[in-house]
Amino acid sequence: MILNINIIISALAILLYFGLYIVVFISKPQNDIKRAFRWYLLAMFFWSLSAILIYTDQARPTFWFRMMITSGMCTMISTYSLARTFIKERSKTDLWVLNIGMLLVGISLISDQIIQPVTVIAGVINYEFTTFGYIVTSPVYLIVMVSFFTLIRLHRRTKDPIQQNRIMYLILGIGVVILGSTVNFTPLGKYPLDIAANGITAIIFLYAILRYQLLDVRVVIRQGLVYSIPTIIIGAAYFLVITLSINLFNIYSRSGVGIFMLSLAVAVVTALLAEPLRSKAQQIIDRLFFREKYDSQVMLQTLSGRAASVLDLVKITNMILTEVTSTLHLPRAAFFLRDEETGVFQLTTKI
């Protein structure tokens, strides 16, 4: 059972990072942040892949464990590159950091002195780092900690609440990875807690992409969900109705014309239901993942209904300003109207 759970955890992490990589890869336009994030996702993918191969290829657990360590180190280095790209700051120190990091990765990749021989017994990994292994891996953790605190400083400097949320989820995901990887240096490292942490991080990043447009891939995902979900539901329902109807129809008749008319009737009904189903799916998706857009639509509907029954200009502007600030999460806002005689804009309402 332990073995199966370990494989399932690793497989889910692989699927999550593969899916995230595809999403980022196909999103347009590509920029430096997306390219840096793709390297990060690729390293996380190989980290999870190496973990599952430790359990499935038990003839070479030491080799795959070393590959897992190397992939983890690549993840830490790519985290540094991602953080520096995200804050749009570059220095000569970055080149030294990346070169030293890649040198340590190369040593970890070719050296067999990082860990003692690894064994897998009853789904539990038994391993032990050497002194040389600690010397090689420790500087990489220092690199990722620098990245972590760099993002924290950026979060404190940023005034835009949306950007703050994006950075917050990035910090949260990287923090989970750091905690999960640190477990490998404790007795709990024999369990795939690091891979489980990686999977949690993938979910955090996916939510941040969907909810806060972390990497400008919101439109791609939204359109894919809007059209794929109704298509799957309609297609499955169509074939289910056709199959059940033909089975029932054959009880009474085996006429080819009858089957054709039945199929035509189901197709017409399906076509009529397709657009309402797509609209309903879009509302549900907007409510779950794109609440800003959904809230804006609700705001406009609410305002149009209220404004129709209010004649006082001050009350209308105050109502509009209250709804806008609440929906867009604005701390301060003001409403100016242009005087027809002087052409000067005058303050009407402020919050």
pLDDT tens digit at each of 351 positions of the chain:
444 677 888 888 888 888 888 878 877 777 888 888 889 999 999 998 988 888 888 788 888 888 988 998 999 899 888 888 877 767 778 888 888 888 988 888 888 888 888 888 777 788 888 888 889 888 888 888 888 888 888 888 888 777 788 888 888 988 998 888 888 888 887 778 888 888 898 888 878 877 776 766 554 555 555 555 566 666 666 666 666 666 665 544 455 556 666 666 766 666 666 667 666 666 666 665 555 555 555 666 666 656 555 556 667 777 777 767 766 666 778 878 777 777 788 777 777
Helix 193-212 × helix 32-56 angle, to 10°: 150
Identify the three-state secondary structure at position 330.
coil
Identify the three-state secondary structure at position 54.
helix
Cα–Cα distance list, 163 to 5, 88, 101, 166 (Å): 37, 14, 29, 5
Cα angle 55, 56, 59 (rounded to 5 degrees) comes to 90
Determine the Cα–Cα distance for residues 133 and 111; give it in Å rounded to an integer. 10
pLDDT at 277: 65
Q: What is the signed CA dihedral for 114, 72, 148, 221, rounded to 10 degrees?
A: 180
Cα–Cα distance list, 260 to 48, 247, 256 (Å): 51, 14, 6
Is the Cβ–Cβ distance between 193 and 51 less than 8 Å? Answer: no
Determine the Cα–Cα distance for residues 237 and 243; give it in Å rounded to an integer. 10
pLDDT at 162: 76
Q: Encode burial over 224-249: b for 16+ CB neighbours within 10 A, e otherwise.
A: ebbeebbeeebeeebeebbeeeeeeb
Nearest to 224 by CA among 167, 134, 285: 285
Is the Cβ–Cβ distance between 13 and 133 less than 8 Å? Answer: no
The token pair that represents 221 in the structure block: 């995902």
pLDDT at 251: 47
Q: Which residue ranges form the domains of the chain, and what is each CATH number?
A: 2-216 (1.20.1070.10), 221-289 (no CATH), 294-350 (no CATH)
Cα angle 41, 141, 110 (rounded to 5 degrees) comes to 75
Query: What secondary structure does DSSP assign to 142-203, as a single string?
Result: HHHHHHHHHHHHHHHH---HHHHHHHHHHHHHHHHHHHHHHGGGSGGGGSTHHHHHHHHHHH
Is the Cβ–Cβ distance between 216 and 33 less than 8 Å? Answer: no
What lies within 8 Å, CB to CB, of 52 at 6+ separation is: 7, 10, 11, 14
The token pair that represents 222 in the structure block: 């939204």
pLDDT at 133: 86
Residue 287 class from Cβ within 10 Å (0-12 exposed, 13-18 middle, 19+ buried)? middle
The total number of residues written for the chain in this structure = 351
Q: Kindly tell me the sign of the dihedral angle through the C-alpha atoms of 95, 97, 100, 101.
A: negative
